[in-house]
Structure 1
Amino acid sequence: MSSSERQAKSRAFARLRHRIAAVGVALCLSTGLKASPESSAHFVIDAPQLSPALIQFSRQSGLSIVFPDHLARNIESRPIQGTLSSAEVLDRLLEDTDLDWELIESRIIAVYSKDCESSRDCASAADTISRYPVYVPGLEETYVYGSQMTGSRIRRPGYESAAPVDVLSAPEIELSGAQTLGELLKFVPAVAGNSLSTAISNGGDGTASVTLRGLPASNTLVLINGRRVANDGLAGESVDLNSIPPAAVERIEILKDGASAIYGSDAIAGVVNVIMKRDFYGLLAETFYGQTQEGDLDTQTHTLQYGTGFNRGSLFITGSYYKQDPIFSRDRRVSRSADTRDRGGADQRSSATPNARVVLPDRSAVIAEGQGYRPIGSNDLFDFADFTTAVVPLERSSLFANGSFDFSDQVVAFFDMSFVDTSANATLAPTPVFTGFEQTPLVVSADNRFNPFGSDLTDVRRRLVEFPDRRQRNESTTTRVGLTLEGLAADWNWDLSVNWSRSEATETLSNIVNADRLRRALGPDADCQGADVDGCVPVDLLGPAGSIDAAQVDFLRVSGDVSGYTRLTSFSSNVSRSLFELPGGRSDIAVGFEHRLEATSKRPDALLASTGTIGGTNFEATRGDRRISELYAETILPLWKSTTGYSSLSVEAALRFSDYSDFGDNTAPKLGARLQLGPSVLLRSTYAEGFRAPSLNELYEGASESQAFIDDPCTRPENVGTLPGCSAVADSSRNQFLTVTGGNPELEAETSESFSAGFLWTPGIITGLSLSADYFNIDQDNVVSSSAQFVVNQNARFGRFEENVIRDENGNLTLVQATNVNVGQRKVKGVDLAFNYQAPGRSWGKLSLSGSATYLDEYLARLDASSGAVDLAGTFGDEASEGLGGIPRWKGQVGARWERERWQASWEIHFVSDMREIVPGTERHRTIDNWMVHDLQLGYTFDVLEGLRWSVGVDNVLDEAAPLAASGFNDNIDGRTHELKGRYWYTKLSQRF
């Protein structure tokens, strides 16, 4: 068929109204570019069967495509590589087959059987509907359903919603070199704040999370294939990204907008939807190895993938093994010491020293030295950075499989399952002992044989360097199983889905102290006469380093264990269809029901549960479960379309009702509008109300004890006698204080209102260019908070919370109690910017440029209705000190990608603007420098052995060191925003058969 004939038929079909749904495969990955069959691009299509080859074509061309999968699945395909028009590629793919193609809308390609070129050829209309050839030339009222995009339950091909959705496709994931999803999402501009990863040692647990807009991870909903899954096993409040095998990921869709009306709770900041691979044919073996310039952080990944199709279905299975070695704090200049005063920072070394530090009854302080004692000097502090891991070693083994089976042309079944096993091992400094500041204070008795002072001692600080380093081992297993039936009945698309997931986790902290034994060992000699006499070994806590011998270590040393799980079982049903014609086109509706059962449990061993350890976190058991039932409805109403079809106006609306068995119900609405002004300009806007149900951990957490980093205002002499809560100058050498937190069954849901407005511009004068800008505003109320720092500040400045703040006779903090309450508020607003440019193919290859950035104009946080709001935009507050992490005003990335025949290269630039912080122990502000890194990758596909590909990359080419964060407890940097590793090289080799 000639090009002119095709264009004539395309114009004819564009005039048709399309209503009847077709069964097939449709891919709708919006690129913001107005692709057409006549536009050229560089294609690399290597799938052995036609069905996945057509899907590869769709992704690389930017065109949506529908085709009869039951016909195309078993047809062999030929490899295509080079710069060609989309029409040329389609002609080559369908050559020598009984299939042909047509352009039925501006960006939708329909593939159909030549044996059914008209409705008459396919017998009656009823017969056509029963056979569903997907598309029939000449049959009016043919409507092709597309695929769902994150943020909507309605299937539409080529539809750009009123809310922006970023898509990280498989090629982009590969070019990033990232081997974990946490590593991949870290540089997304909309991600800020306290996301977890293995770059967080003290305070981490081997898991990884994502935090959109700087809101906590519990405010970002993580989905797998559009479905909810269980959170982290230790009563976690978000999905562990390390439990998702990257080798099985097809793409990641990021909705940066409130979506409670579509998905329910947790989607206040947005949604991260991880789409797993489905259409894969053949066998792939791949290996990855990387290492830093310093010779550490050795990383390896080994992957096997196999996919096949058969007469009525398909099967895909992949297994991978990942191993990451550590970086130690001492091996980087910025992190090798907790004392950063020489660089404008602070001295955060610990007052628990290897030589005993003793406060005498007259309040003078001495330190053990040799056979005696001397007055304490300003440098008598312990540098824990000599011992700690900065990046935690991690191992992960994963298995993932999915498949499909066509019961008929109208009903298809899908299943997927995954099993992931991870283990992480962090090294912490030896256990510190603060006798005066434990949950049950310790007293060195005047009658203790090692006490030369002749009086009871209540404040002794000692770093137990005679013990081995503390080791924190986290292990988890995550299992997920899902079964979905999809079909078509009387013009309705329907699906039924059952999903079950369970995450189990254990944490073991070894080489800590049995507090009950130490209490007895410090008492009178009469109560602790020796292992052979009464089973008790007296302990010399008052001597210099080395005074605690092996027998004393064996008597005191224990391990603390905690285990837990989270489980989620869900059943959902959704139906959707087009309803009626409006002036702008057909309207669509989707309605659905979901029922979930959630449960969690966190069980400490007997010592931890009885506050019987020092050096670990003592807490009571947590257990809770609930039932959730939800109903939703969503519609798209095209209100107007110009006679040319280039301009249009449509409205989107959604409403979701949620009923929780443990806190009540909620109704969340959402409205959106799209105004297309000619072929080049799209205006879009949304308004949504959201909510976050209090987590099971927030509701039912048992009392939990920790040594929290708190800035005590009473350590500054000028506040004594001025602030009502400061009666004496507290000890300024301490920065960690005993804190007890816990759940609150009376919590209410957090609520939010969000608004966005923006535009997408594809200027016709520059083919291949798109520009977008979107303003966002999130107002959040009733925020759950348990801030010990807030309680201490309110007590010192206003005398509030007297029952929650306990001080000794010297004015030192001994205990802070802070349970969960609904008191906080947040307001976040800013702008997202993005551009994409695909240059026309040339003899030297194909070049594409892309970039995105987020500007945060305001981040107002208020911990209590009685306190003022603080603007955190452009600031850093470490999570260890109850801060919300790094909230840079600007965060962006720019990338260039080049392809020519078998060569492929990329250059990525990541940028984080400077941030303000308060130097610990002072009122002084300083600036954390901005940070920019360059990543390069080069790849080549060999023709000697077909399917063999090799790539090499270098991250942080210029070896830009992470900037100093004086208040950063973990390694003097913001490890959630910056990277400590420095220059890092890697290589990857893959063979596809």
Structure 2
Amino acid sequence: MTNIPGRGVIPPPGARFAWRRALLSSCLALALSGPASANLDQQVQFTLDAPRLSSALIQLSQQSGLAIVFSDRQIRDLPATPVVGTNTTTEALNTLLAGSNLTWEVVDERIIAVYPIECEPAAGNCAGAAELVADYPIYAPGLEETWVYGTTITGSRIRRTSYTGGAPVDILSSPDIELSGAQTLGELLKFIPAVAGNATSTAISNGGDGTATVTLRGLPASNTLVLINGRRVANDGLAGESVDLNSIPPAAVERIEILKDGASAIYGSDAIAGVVNVIMKRDFHGFLAESFYGEASDGDLDTTSHTLQYGTGLPEGSFFISATYYDQGALFSRNRKVSASADTRPLGGTDQRSSATPNARIMLPDGTTVIATDDSYRPATEEDLYNYRIETSAVVPMKRKSLYSNVSYDFSERITGYAEFSYLDTDAKATLAPTPVFTAFEQTPLPVAADNIYNSFGVELEDVRRRLIELPPRRQRNESQVNRFSAVLEGLFSDWNWDAGYAWSRSEAEETTYNIVNADNLRRAIGPAADCQGGPVDDCVAVNLTGPQGSISNEQLSYIWATGEVSGYSKLSSLSFNINGGLEGLPAGRTDIAVGMEIRDEATSKRPSALLAGISTIGAANFEATNGDRRATELYAESVVPLWKSASGLSHVALEAAVRFSDYDDFGDTTNPKIALRWQAGPELLLRANYAEGFRAPSLNELYEGATESQDFLDDPCTQAANVGVLPGCQQQADPTRNQFLTVKGGNGDLEPETSDSYSAGLVWTPGGIPGLAFSADYFHIDQENVVSSSAQFIVNQNARYGAFEQLVTRDDMGNLALIQATNLNIGERRVKGADLALTYHYPKRSFGQFSVIGSATWIQDYLARLDSTAPRLDLAGTFRDEASEGLGGIPEWKAQLGLRWKYERWQSSWQMHYVDSMKEILPGTDQTREIDEWLVHDLQLNYTFDVLDGLRLTLGIDNLMDEAAPLAASAFNDNIDGRTHELKGRFWYTRLSQRF
């Protein structure tokens, strides 16, 4: 049985394998009851936009309902001319095949055969159907037929004849990925208009771990479900909340489908904002060798990638394997103007340099602050701060090795087996500034004893701040290994499709932080002299923490020098069974039904080294171990019911409905329905509306995370003199030079699921008067409740303004925040409203080539969020608040892409524009706002396929042609920009050379 969805044309059993040898791969489409020839002149609304002819023919057969057969071996690499609008099948076929040296005709009154024209100019004759029948017995009359209905699309389990459903789906094909020049999926998805908020990537160094995530609608990454070939996979190995996109090699990706709507009724947990379904390559034939090299115009961020791929058809199946090596160089903050200094006042920002300075900064008991000099001390000034950006990496250097393979096998004409395996190894290394020490603000204070041999003041010093630049810069190394395996049996039983599958994945990760401080040893080293008398006595070495830069000797460093390590894994295994088919006989057409079940086991573990677990380091996060597991059992049903169909068949109304029951052994069960209405109002206009309930099960990390210590960037209202004595929680002014505060967070085993209600309504318009034009607009509304939140900022604000949470907030005798305790709670709410717009126009092919315009945009009308039902709703649309300050990142009101593409013979080019609207931010330590400028970048790419070596292609590309600098975000922790929305790299050029045999 052919694996390609559609109508299969199969020869008699004795000739089956000979046929497979003759036709390497065949496209066979959805069948209708009448003969093909009877429907060729019927008007059909086509959207044939696949870049390759083989894929376009598959689309044509799916959308026309006619059976088509062709030899993939003969047309595998041919391009396709887009066909969008109302046409007859005859017109569409002629447009697709124009200039291809291919023709078509109806064979046996049922099948459209596409075949090459073999011409002998001297004789003036061309081979036709008779020669074709002799060469390919499949075209002979009297063939058997098998029925396979449509194809599945993200957001539905029902096989369909087109990609148009009740909810919007964006599709990025393999050529789209190539035209982007992106070498990672995180980089590719970053500029998708619907993506906003706190997605992580290697552009996030301090606070990142070399992973990449996607955030639709500005909701957290945990609210977007990432699938591979429609199946769940394990999250990031360090108890991650979502799948690491860097664990998916883009070279092996066939396409990416992005469902921008709630889909818990179809897929279960996590699909509140939408679904990103990564479809891996499967029908690949031949050998491909490809090399990529790119570099920023400033001479850094050198990036290389090498890929080898091989695929072949087998007598009873197929085989494909892909191997990729990727190496991304570093970009340092100091090498770009906007990120070179944490003091952005010259650029219109604020001063966020650190008060932990290379020369000890000491607050004396009388409240005065002094700075150590070479031989004494002087009063500290506002300029006595440290620019930590001179050491930090802005883009994390990373190496990645990946292997992906799949194989299919036809057990019979009705049963096919499919298995895939992937392995990926990643090594990322970030550089952070040397370790800072704040003796008064560790979880266990570290006062310098009055009789410490280096304390010349003779009194205990509680607040000493020192940047230990005698140590090398901190290095954070993240290593991960991801293994995935899945096996599926799929087949036909009568006219019903079924599949049974097993999937297993495991993501292991290790994080090592070098050049940090052993807090226990430092406590002894700066404590009473009696407790630290030197190596021969008690193995303790006193440390001169109160001196100037260079006053800490190598012996002292060796005593406090430490390394922190953490390892962990996430694993997932599942068993699933699905069946779908149809019921004929209804007046308006066939009713499609799908039902299925899934049993899923999840587990995670995060294990710190003894130093980290014992809250015994400075310069890395201290935390307790995390361990958890659970089982989920789910049942679902889905149906598409035609309600009405016009006499001409050009207008019809269909109802789509689904429901999923999910039972978790840790919190209980939930049922989530979905209903959609789709009205094809004539050949030019489709109207659709959708309602869905969604949920997100609390992650294993949110449930079982051990107590975790971090230095969070927070705004303390008590640092502002105007609030002192006015706000109930601000009895004295806190130190205004501090912006990082000790926070302890942890899991909560009593969490309930987050819930949501999603609404959308839209249209797809393909005007007959403008052939090649397609426009869509969809309005969306998401209400989310019971949001899991662990907000130290909310607790600090409520404590300062109302005196609440006294048991969770600790201040020292000077009024400074010493500790905030924040555990996970179901207290948040969100409401997001906006619209998605999309435009595609394929200009009619001319002598100068084929032009296409492709654009999309997302408008966020409202993004109302509140951390607690007692707090006011804040509209975050058009604002930026950094994740390091517990914000949801940048949520621009408008984000858009517009691309112009051109094809002419062996040439192909792309001009892509990315636009991000301006945003407002609150300046740190103030109530003032400033505007982050809008941002527009231009990407160009040019391809040429040589005729000397068939299949040799050269690509030249430039990202950010005008070298448009990322706009200043004064409140951003990483590099003074919103690194999740904008890019620091500037102009970046690349070249790619590929050879396919």
Aligned to 2:502, the other structure's residue is in SS state: strand
Cα separation, 2, equivalents of 1:100 and 1:939? 42
Cα separation, 1, equivalents of 2:54 and 2:760? 35
Whether 1:256 aligns to 2:260 is: yes
- 1:179-215, Cα deviation, whole Å (9 max, x unpaired): 0000000000000000000000001000000000000
Cα displacement (A) at 1:224: 0.3
Aligned to 1:532, the other structure's residue is in SS state: helix
Counterpart of 2:93? 87
Cα separation, 1, equivalents of 2:788 and 2:49? 51
For residue 912 of structure 1, the aligned residue among 911, 916, 922 is 916
- 1:743-773, Cα deviation, whole Å (9 max, x unpaired): 0000000000000001000011000101111
Counterpart of 2:610? 606
For residue 337 of structure 1, the aligned residue among 335, 338, 341 is 341
Which stretch of the first structure deviates more once superposed, 58-67 or 492-501? 58-67
Cα separation, 1, equivalents of 2:520 and 2:137? 83
| Contact persistence 1:747–1:821 (CA under 8 A) | yes
2:428 partner letter: A
- 1:732-752, Cα deviation, whole Å (9 max, x unpaired): 110000000000000000000
For residue 572 of structure 1, the aligned residue among 567, 570, 576 is 576
| Contact persistence 2:952–2:996 (CA under 8 A) | yes
| Contact persistence 2:54–2:76 (CA under 8 A) | no
Listed as ranges, the matches of 1:504-515 within 5 Å are: 504-515=508-519
Cα displacement (A) at 1:54: 3.4
Aligned to 1:517, the other structure's residue is in SS state: helix
Aligned to 2:175, the other structure's residue is in SS state: helix
| Contact persistence 1:505–1:563 (CA under 8 A) | yes
Structure 2 portions without partners, runs of 5+: 1-24, 31-40, 83-90, 114-131
Counterpart of 1:949? 953
Residues 385 and 787 of structure 1, relative CA distance in 2, 3 Å threshold: same
Cα displacement (A) at 1:532: 2.6
Listed as ranges, the matches of 1:718-733 within 5 Å are: 718-733=722-737
Cα separation, 1, equivalents of 2:105 and 2:416? 28
Residues 160 and 96 of structure 1, relative CA distance in 2, 3 Å threshold: closer
Counterpart of 2:213? 209
Counterpart of 1:157? 161
Counterpart of 2:671? 667
Cα displacement (A) at 1:87: 3.0
Whether 1:935 aligns to 2:939 is: yes
Residues 101 and 476 of structure 1, relative CA distance in 2, 3 Å threshold: farther
2:976 partner letter: N
Which stretch of the first structure deviates more once superposed, 524-533 or 817-826? 524-533
Cα displacement (A) at 1:55: 3.7
Counterpart of 2:640? 636
Cα separation, 2, equivalents of 1:40 and 1:672? 22
| Contact persistence 1:58–1:65 (CA under 8 A) | no
For residue 591 of structure 1, the aligned residue among 595, 610, 628 is 595
Cα displacement (A) at 1:344: 2.0
Cα displacement (A) at 1:94: 7.9
Aligned to 2:901, the other structure's residue is in SS state: strand
Counterpart of 2:362? 358
Cα displacement (A) at 1:310: 1.3
Aligned to 2:500, the other structure's residue is in SS state: strand
Counterpart of 2:767? 763
Cα displacement (A) at 1:102: 4.0
Cα separation, 2, equivalents of 1:525 and 1:582? 92
Residues 97 and 247 of structure 1, relative CA distance in 2, 3 Å threshold: farther
Cα separation, 2, equivalents of 1:874 and 1:188? 17
Cα separation, 1, equivalents of 2:138 and 2:112? 18
- 1:889-940, Cα deviation, whole Å (9 max, x unpaired): 0000000100000000000000000000000011111000000000000000
Aligned to 1:551, the other structure's residue is in SS state: helix
Whether 1:695 aligns to 2:713 is: no
| Contact persistence 2:56–2:80 (CA under 8 A) | no
Counterpart of 1:378? 382
Residues 180 and 839 of structure 1, relative CA distance in 2, 3 Å threshold: same
Cα separation, 2, equivalents of 1:893 and 1:340? 30
Cα displacement (A) at 1:38: 12
Counterpart of 1:990? 994
2:963 partner letter: D
Aligned to 1:894, the other structure's residue is in SS state: strand
Cα displacement (A) at 1:159: 4.9
For residue 799 of structure 1, the aligned residue among 803, 808, 826 is 803
- 1:40-67, Cα deviation, whole Å (9 max, x unpaired): 999986xxxxxxx734643699967887
Counterpart of 1:54? 54
Residues 498 and 343 of structure 1, relative CA distance in 2, 3 Å threshold: same
Counterpart of 2:233? 229
Cα separation, 2, equivalents of 1:619 and 1:63? 56
Cα separation, 1, equivalents of 2:453 and 2:605? 44
Cα separation, 1, equivalents of 2:575 and 2:773? 43
Cα separation, 1, equivalents of 2:44 and 2:172? 24
Listed as ranges, the matches of 1:478-489 within 5 Å are: 478-489=482-493
Residues 35 and 871 of structure 1, relative CA distance in 2, 3 Å threshold: farther
Cα separation, 1, equivalents of 2:578 and 2:890? 40
- TM-score, normalised via structure 1 length: 0.91
| Contact persistence 2:411–2:417 (CA under 8 A) | yes
Residues 808 and 878 of structure 1, relative CA distance in 2, 3 Å threshold: same
Cα separation, 2, equivalents of 1:710 and 1:595? 42
Cα separation, 2, equivalents of 1:232 and 1:66? 44
Cα displacement (A) at 1:529: 1.4
Whether 1:678 aligns to 2:682 is: yes
For residue 984 of structure 2, the aligned residue among 977, 980, 987 is 980
1:415 partner letter: A
| Contact persistence 2:26–2:71 (CA under 8 A) | no
- 1:4-58, Cα deviation, whole Å (9 max, x unpaired): xxxxxxxxxxxxxxxxxxx986789xxxxx998999999986xxxxxxx734643
| Contact persistence 2:766–2:774 (CA under 8 A) | yes
Counterpart of 1:838? 842
Cα displacement (A) at 1:97: 13
Cα separation, 1, equivalents of 2:492 and 2:302? 50
Cα displacement (A) at 1:625: 0.0
| Contact persistence 1:100–1:114 (CA under 8 A) | no
**Identical aligned residues as a percent:** 63
Counterpart of 1:315? 319
1:739 partner letter: T
2:93 partner letter: A
Cα separation, 1, equivalents of 2:77 and 2:194? 38
Cα separation, 2, equivalents of 1:242 and 1:80? 31
Aligned to 1:963, the other structure's residue is in SS state: coil
- 1:409-432, Cα deviation, whole Å (9 max, x unpaired): 100000011001011100000000
2:668 partner letter: G
Listed as ranges, the matches of 1:732-743 within 5 Å are: 732-743=736-747
Counterpart of 1:891? 895
Counterpart of 2:662? 658
For residue 544 of structure 2, the aligned residue among 540, 550, 570 is 540
Counterpart of 2:16? none
Cα separation, 2, equivalents of 1:876 and 1:468? 33
| Contact persistence 2:501–2:575 (CA under 8 A) | yes
Cα separation, 1, equivalents of 2:645 and 2:43? 21
Residues 98 and 675 of structure 1, relative CA distance in 2, 3 Å threshold: closer
1:882 partner letter: E
Cα separation, 1, equivalents of 2:669 and 2:586? 34
| Contact persistence 1:874–1:887 (CA under 8 A) | yes
Whether 1:420 aligns to 2:424 is: yes
Cα separation, 2, equivalents of 1:890 and 1:40? 27
Counterpart of 1:395? 399
| Contact persistence 2:436–2:466 (CA under 8 A) | yes
- 1:787-806, Cα deviation, whole Å (9 max, x unpaired): 00000000000111101000
Aligned to 2:762, the other structure's residue is in SS state: strand
Counterpart of 1:138? none
Residues 44 and 158 of structure 1, relative CA distance in 2, 3 Å threshold: closer
Residues 574 and 918 of structure 1, relative CA distance in 2, 3 Å threshold: same
1:947 partner letter: G
Listed as ranges, the matches of 1:138-287 within 5 Å are: 144-287=148-291
Cα separation, 2, equivalents of 1:432 and 1:588? 63
Aligned to 2:564, the other structure's residue is in SS state: strand
Aligned pairs, how many? Answer: 932
